[in-house]
Amino acid sequence: MSNSPTRSIWRQSSPVLAPLLGLLLVITAAVVWGWVHKPDASFASTARLALVLKQTAIVATGALGMTLVIAAGGIDLAVGSLLALCSVVMAKSLSVGHSPVAALLLTVGVGLCAGALHGVLVTWGRLVPFIATLGTMLAWRGAAEAVSEQKKISAEAPDWLSTLLDTPSADARFPVASGVLWVLALAILLAGVLRYTIFGRRIYAIGSNEAAASLCGVPITSTKIAVYALMGLFAALAGVLEFNNLSAQGNPSSAVGYELDVIAAVVLGGGSLSGGRGSIAGSLLGALLMTSLRSACVYAEVADPLQKVLVGAIILIAVALDRWRDQAR
Amino acid sequence: MLRASSVVRRFGAVTALRGVDVALQAGRVHALVGANGAGKSTLARILAGVDKADEGVLTLEGEPYAPRNPAQARAVGVAMIHQELSIAPHLSVAANIVLGSETRRFGVLQQARDHARARTALQRLGRSDLPLQQLAGELPTALQQVVELARALASDVRVLLLDEPTSSLEHHDKQSLLNLVDALRAQDLALVWIGHHLDEVLRVADDLTVLRDGAVVARHVRGVSADQLVHDMSGRTLQGVFEARSSSTSKELLVLRDFRPRHFRQPVNLTVHQGEIVGLAGLVGSGRSRLLRAIVGALPHDQGSAVLNGQVVARDPHHSAHHGLGLVAEDRKRDGLCLTIPIIDEVTLSRPEQEAVAGVLRSGPRQQAVRTYSAMVGAKLASLHAGAQTLSGGNQQKLALARLLHMQAKLWLLDDPTRGIDVAAKSDIYQAVRSKAAQGYGVLVASSDTNELLQWCDRIAVLSRGSIVDIRPTHEWDADSILACAAGARGMREEPWSSYEQ
């Protein structure tokens, strides 16, 4: 009884607090470990920061779209395969001689259409999002393998489309990869959409109580299709970043398990798997936490199997946090 | 039996209970009465271990009693039946009754013994006619409640708290519930009754404690008058709040022509005029809600048309909202409100484009509109950015009405708008509805409270099993004739669970 006020403060705290604390914990732990075991190579180096930001950009792009989907009470398990499909489409399109702009438009178009299809399946098709996207998760992976004939595709791409994640030289005025800045700009835009537009407010209403929102006259079908289409768009953008990350290559077997990182990022950032809650700032921090943890594991030379266990534990903690917050309300 | 002394409970800056004392005795029904937000539900939740007191002492038969959760409370014989029933719909009646107290032997369920326990519990309630194997979800609400009561009996409960137990019941079922409570009292249980309907409270209660703003303002025993209670609850005397002043005109607003919602036996022909309040009476399952939902297009209709001001409606709820049809659904939690979104979004949910430019919301005008409309319905709001779940039931319902005001609905479709809310809030809501009607708006209101319909409406239509049986001006009806008409003049009412249709 005595701890109830502090507990309620913790539970009702802003969604960014938990991932922020987690982030501090991971960084502190890695830095302290470094003092003891690797005094000559600090965890907090510019190179590592650049690497973490690069990885975060890819996870965060998916997490932006996933924030909308989860806030609307849905889920999308197909982001990883759609990302792979899009990066392969990008590479293939360039390698058959399309112009970079055409390739980019085609990639984004594939993402939008695939996402819109998810929306159609869960509205008109009346499928549960989990099942619908579980099915397409396999389908998009297959499509990626078909397009690429199960090989990695290398492509020639102009600098503006292949160095998005390359860190400028250290003496540049702003030593951050342009792709990271693009993601940040998109995040700010999307946060504004969620907060200040009719579309954004409707997403939360649908996630909070779809039946009530429907009776109040909220257009459920069109809003949901738009949400999933946007998710597809962000998966495509993440695919473009992945194409950059692999040095202008499309790999049909990349981003396996990506959807879990993305969902974990959103939930760590305050999104509720039962809908109605989710914030862009939280999801960004959640994505940063996920990639920092991976980076810290690599730095601390944690064996790969143990790394997987750790990340799995974090995802479990994230989901438990979600349930816990739900009960507090 | 169970005694609470100086109980204090705070929620953030709000003090819900400020030092409440209450003592329950075996074989007596103790009613907690008070307006919404007076603290009676909070007190009951503390007694049942659902919530914890910040200060104060609880004792059960002289022993200290500090349940950490409902399961611990139940283990020592204190149970609560909530407003929202907690039935597992996919389990059988018997499984529901022994739920949480199943008999096990080496980890294996002893079904035969559990069935016997379930049967005994039902017998003690005088309802041994309930089929033990039926799925609980197939039963009508009234019988699900019987199952819940039986569950309490099956686990040897000594103190039973009933939170607004009649709010989801029909008149007929309310009577049988009151009889059940009499039966439980005769078995020496200590009962707590929380309810808004004073006639029921006066009928059932031996002791009464009146709460206002989290403090006990009066204690009474059987024999106190309703006027006295209302006075104690509100601190003021409510007089003449339900004086209907008809504003009906002859101008047609909504015309239903041969309109047959799916599963209706007969098409409906009904006109609502400008300024008119038309009531829909009927038992649960008679099709009241179904008709209202079909008019906004949330449910399909198979023939006929619904025309509002020359515009064909009943296509889908979004279309209806844009053409001036506003629905307040019956069950606030299920599909009436989005409880977790900010109040400001809740009120503007139907027509947000009114305060938006190219889809971007304008904060100032929006806040002003929400303040204006919520003041018009008398809603008390601390913050526009909190979720509606922080409000009492009455204030939640007022928010739903504020939404209709905001969307400029010309026809209000209200499904049991005063269900589970207190007298003062009822009067606020009635006044808001009546004043809108006086401005030429139309209202179609469904209610299971016949007296309320008689007080509110200009005309009343009675539905029974998917058709309108009769429609007359209110002065040609009385409570008995409505009930007779609703129950169907074709003889005995069917068994409730066989006539129950989804």
Q: Could you tell me if residue B333 is inside a domain?
A: no
Last residue of a domain, one of B234, B265, B289: B234
- Tell me: do B164 and B63 sit in the same domain: yes
* Chain-chain contact of A214 with B407 (C-beta, under 8 angstroms): no
Chain A nearest-CA distance from B335, in A, is: 4
User: Regarding predicted confidence, which is higher, B33 or A191?
Assistant: A191
Cα–Cα distance measured from residue A261 to residue A213, given in angstroms and rounded to the nearest whole number: 30
* B32 neighbors B233 (Cβ within 8 angstroms): no
Tell me the per-residue pLDDT of B64-78, one tens digit each, with 9 for 90 and over: 898 888 888 888 889
Give the residue from B88, B82, B248, B240 showing the smallest Cα distance to B165: B82
* Chain-chain contact of A199 with B336 (C-beta, under 8 angstroms): no
Q: Could you tell me if residue B335 is inside a domain?
A: no
| Binding-face residues of A in 206-245 toward B, CB within 8 A | 208-209, 211-219
Q: In chain A, where are the structural domains located?
A: 49-164+174-289
Report ipTM (2 d.p.): 0.86
Q: What pTM was computed for the model?
A: 0.77
- Tell me: do B88 and B216 sit in the same domain: yes
* Chain-chain contact of B361 with A211 (C-beta, under 8 angstroms): no
The neighbour count for residue B13, using CB atoms within 10 Å, is: 6
Please state the rounded mean pLDDT for residues B49-68.
Answer: 88
- Tell me: do B148 and B26 sit in the same domain: yes
Tell me the C-alpha to C-alpha distance, in Å, between residue B92 and each of A265, B172, B411.
41, 25, 42
Of B317, B322, B334, the CB nearest to A214: B317
pLDDT score of B239:
45
> B186 pLDDT band (50/70/90 cuts)?
confident
Of A212, A218, A276, the CB nearest to B336: A212
Cα–Cα distance measured from residue B137 to residue B262, given in angstroms and rounded to the nearest whole number: 22
Q: Could you tell me if residue B92 is inside a domain?
A: yes
Q: Could you tell me if residue B489 is inside a domain?
A: yes
| Residues 6 or more apart whose Cβ sits within 8 Å of residue B258 | B267, B268, B269, B303, B304, B305
Last residue of a domain, one of B379, B406, B433: B406
Of B53, B334, B349, the CB nearest to A216: B349
* Chain-chain contact of A217 with B356 (C-beta, under 8 angstroms): no
**Where does B37-171 show beta strands of DSSP type E?**
55-60, 63-64, 78-81, 104-105, 108-109, 159-163
> A148 pLDDT band (50/70/90 cuts)?
very high
Name chain A contacts of B53, Cβ cutoff 8 Å: 1
Name chain B contacts of A4, Cβ cutoff 8 Å: 52, 54
Task: Report strand pairing: B78-81 vs B159-163.
Answer: parallel
Residues of B at the A interface (Cβ-Cβ below 8 Å)? 12, 52-54, 293, 296, 298, 317-318, 320-322, 327, 329, 334-341, 345-346, 348-353, 356, 359-361, 363, 389, 403, 407
- Tell me: do B424 and B313 sit in the same domain: yes
Of A197, A214, A216, the CB nearest to B359: A197
- Tell me: do B275 and B221 sit in the same domain: no
- Tell me: do B9 and B20 sit in the same domain: yes
* Least confident residue range of A142-146, A147-151, B86-90, B244-248: B244-248
Please state the rounded mean pLDDT for residues A294-321.
Answer: 87
Cα–Cα distance measured from residue A53 to residue B470, given in angstroms and rounded to the nearest whole number: 71
Chain A nearest-CA distance from B7, in A, is: 14
* Chain-chain contact of A217 with B345 (C-beta, under 8 angstroms): no
Q: Does an H or E element contain B308, and which?
A: strand B301-308
> Does residue B499 carry a pLDDT above 60?
no
What tokens does B263 get? 């599963």
- Tell me: do B400 and B436 sit in the same domain: no
Provide the domain limits for residue B274. 238-324+409-502
Q: Could you tell me if residue B493 is inside a domain?
A: yes
B278-289 as b/e, with b when 16 or more CB fall inside 10 Å?
bbbbbbbbbbbb
Name chain B contacts of A277, Cβ cutoff 8 Å: 340
Q: Could you tell me if residue B329 is inside a domain?
A: no
* Chain-chain contact of B352 with A201 (C-beta, under 8 angstroms): yes
A204: closest chain B residue by CA = B341
Chain B nearest-CA distance from A276, in A, is: 7
Of B348, B349, B361, the CB nearest to A197: B361
- Tell me: do B247 and B396 sit in the same domain: no
Read off the CATH number of the domain in which B242 is found: 3.40.50.300
A213: closest chain B residue by CA = B338
- Tell me: do B67 and B83 sit in the same domain: yes
Tell me the C-alpha to C-alpha distance, in Å, between residue B206 and each of B4, B28, B407.
18, 6, 46
* B3 neighbors B192 (Cβ within 8 angstroms): no
- Tell me: do B253 and B370 sit in the same domain: no
Q: Is A191 left (phi over 0), alpha (psi -120 to 50) or beta?
A: alpha
**Number of domains into which chain B is organized:** 3
Name chain A contacts of B52, Cβ cutoff 8 Å: 1, 4
CA dihedral A111, A114, A120, A125 (to 10 degrees): -160
* Chain-chain contact of B361 with A218 (C-beta, under 8 angstroms): no
pLDDT score of B354:
92
pLDDT score of B461:
95
